[in-house]
């Protein structure tokens, strides 16, 4: 099904600007591979390309990032996110449903799927042991969103996706209307903007769940990535990865990434929170005040020279080091999804915040607008 689309225009442009750079054309996934109807709704694959030749492909199935081609140090392009080559692959029960989508309403875990809001208890669906994870088994990641392409005034491209989540879906109260906008800027940034409103009080914490590998292939582990996280504390959890409510310092622990450190250097450390998570799978409490926009993390792969900077207005970021990956499924270009070959950086409110009054408020009420912006920016060094 895959149609080869060679990115000639970008290659020519780059060749003209940097005659000595090695320009490797790349293959985009064809829109035909996503051309289907699910529950009466059309599935589409959108492609955005910027003036530097960087490309992002997004499908409205789960508001999902499918490909992200970014320039490497040697002038070639690498696809730095996990994904699959067709909608059929995404619907195959053997594939990782959290490969690239927007998860929600509430990203990450809610203890036993229960919370109380304005004195009323709500029971969400349970899909992770005894807990609720990433919005449940019918979360946003599994829905067909309405999508459209937009060309912005500065010539950058966006894909605007909207979804109406009905009252009671997965147990959440209120009819929620959510819009997610992916914009590929000419400064090599993928900007993900979220906006939501509700007709009854609810809780909300959508986030983007892409697995990145800055090698551009899962043939190589993400343990070699050098990571900096601008956070002095984290939220410890129990064995089910539910926060205890404590906010603990990272000082003197393997979770201290305030100085750039290879991910693999301390990943097997004898440190209880890492034993519980089988590696890194924690919420870092970002150094900031309120909803300030701040640089959460910088990720660098020495082999390709690719640098990714994560910027957010959210209070937390989940860094997940791929501890549950087992190589049983195969993504684009035959890439096996092996142990620790993808890393997620999910900008978010804290997991289980609806059950912890000391965590930032996750409640959205009628008349309010939920907003979030996350930027994944790319460069080389
Ligand atoms: C992460 C979560 C992990 C795991 C993963 C999906 O966001 O923190 O524990 O559930 O998603 O496999």
For the stretch 51-70, pLDDT in tens is: 999 999 999 999 999 999 99
Residue 337 phi/psi, 5-degree rounding, is -85, 70
Going residue by residue through the chain, which has 381 residues, state the pLDDT in tens, using 9 for 90 and above. 343 344 444 444 444 444 444 444 799 999 999 999 999 999 999 999 999 999 999 999 999 999 999 999 999 999 999 999 999 999 999 999 999 999 999 999 999 999 999 999 999 999 999 999 999 999 999 999 999 999 999 999 999 999 999 999 999 999 999 999 999 999 999 999 999 999 999 999 999 999 999 999 999 999 999 999 999 999 999 999 999 999 999 999 999 999 999 999 999 999 999 999 999 999 999 999 888 899 999 999 999 999 999 999 999 999 999 999 999 999 999 999 999 999 999 999 999 999 999 999 999 999 999 999 999 999 999
Q: From the CA of 284, how far away is ligand 1's center (Å)?
A: 14
Question: Which atom of ligand 1 is found nearest the CA of 107?
Answer: 7
Distances in whole angstroms, Cα of residue 307 to Cα of each of 135, 214, 215, 230, 263: 30, 8, 11, 16, 14
101, 133, 283, 352: residue to mutate for ligand 1 pocket, most atoms within 8 A of CB: 133
Which residues, 6+ apart, have CB-to-CB distance to 369 below 8 Å?
195, 196, 197
Question: Which atom of ligand 1 is found nearest the CA of 96?
Answer: 12
Query: What pLDDT is stored for residue 290 in this prediction?
Result: 82
How many domains does one find in the chain? 1
Concerning whether 301 is annotated as a catalytic residue, the answer is no
Q: Which structural domain, as residue segments, surrounds residue 259? A: 4-380
Query: What pLDDT is stored for residue 4 in this prediction?
Result: 38
Distances in whole angstroms, Cα of residue 104 to Cα of each of 17, 63, 107, 183, 192: 42, 11, 5, 20, 15
Do the Cβ atoms of 341 and 332 come closer than 8 Å? no
Alpha carbons 65 and 337: distance in angstroms, whole number: 17
Q: From the CA of 356, how far away is ligand 1's center (Å)?
A: 20
Which CATH number covers residue 96? 2.70.98.10
Query: What pLDDT is stored for residue 10 in this prediction?
Result: 43
* pLDDT tens profile 136-184: 999 999 999 999 999 999 999 999 999 999 999 999 999 999 999 999 9
Query: What pLDDT is stored for residue 214 in this prediction?
Result: 98
Do the Cβ atoms of 206 and 107 come closer than 8 Å? yes
Concerning whether 27 is annotated as a catalytic residue, the answer is no
97, 103, 108: residue to mutate for ligand 1 pocket, most atoms within 8 A of CB: 108
What residues flank ligand 1, with Cβ below 6 Å? 98, 108, 133, 241, 281, 318, 320, 324, 344, 346
């Amino acid at each position: 099904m895959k149609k080869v689309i060679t990115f000639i225009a970008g290659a020519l442009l780059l060749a003209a600007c940097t005659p000595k750079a090695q320009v490797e054309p790349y293959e985009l996934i064809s829109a035909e591979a996503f051309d289907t109807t699910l529950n009466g709704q059309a599935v589409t694959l959108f492609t955005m390309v910027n003036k530097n030749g960087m490309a992002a492909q997004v499908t409205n199935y789960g508001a999902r990032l499918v490909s992200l081609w970014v320039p490497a140090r040697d002038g070639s392009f690498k696809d730095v996110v996990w994904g699959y080559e067709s909608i059929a692959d995404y619907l195959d029960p053997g594939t990782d449903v959290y490969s690239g989508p927007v998860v929600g309403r509430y990203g990450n875990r809610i203890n036993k799927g229960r919370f109380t809001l304005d004195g009323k208890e709500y029971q969400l669906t349970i899909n992770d042991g005894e807990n609720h994870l990433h919005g449940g088994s019918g979360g946003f990641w599994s829905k067909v969103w309405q999508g459209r392409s937009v060309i912005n005034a500065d010539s950058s491209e966006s894909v605007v996706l909207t979804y109406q989540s009905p009252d009671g879906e997965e147990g959440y109260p209120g009819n929620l209307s959510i819009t997610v906008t992916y914009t590929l800027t000419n400064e090599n940034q993928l900007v993900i903007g979220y906006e939501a409103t509700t007709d009854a009080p609810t809780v909300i914490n959508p986030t983007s769940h892409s697995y990145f590998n800055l090698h551009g292939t899962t043939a190589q582990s993400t343990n070699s990535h050098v990571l900096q996280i601008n956070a002095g504390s984290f939220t410890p959890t129990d064995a089910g990865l539910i926060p205890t409510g404590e906010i603990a310092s990272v000082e003197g622990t393997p979770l201290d990434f305030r100085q750039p450190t290879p991910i693999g250097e301390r990943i097997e450390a004898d440190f209880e929170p890492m034993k519980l998570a089988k590696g890194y799978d924690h919420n870092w409490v970002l150094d900031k005040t309120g909803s300030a926009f701040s640089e959460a993390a910088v990720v660098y792969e020495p082999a390709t020279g690719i640098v990714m900077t994560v910027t957010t207005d959210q209070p937390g970021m989940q860094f997940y080091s791929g501890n549950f990956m087992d190589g049983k499924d195969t993504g684009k270009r035959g890439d096996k999804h092996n142990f620790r070959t993808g890393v997620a950086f999910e900008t978010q409110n804290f997991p289980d915040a609806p059950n912890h009054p000391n965590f930032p408020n996750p409640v959205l009420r009628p008349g309010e607008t939920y907003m979030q912006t996350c930027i994944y920016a790319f460069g080389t060094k």
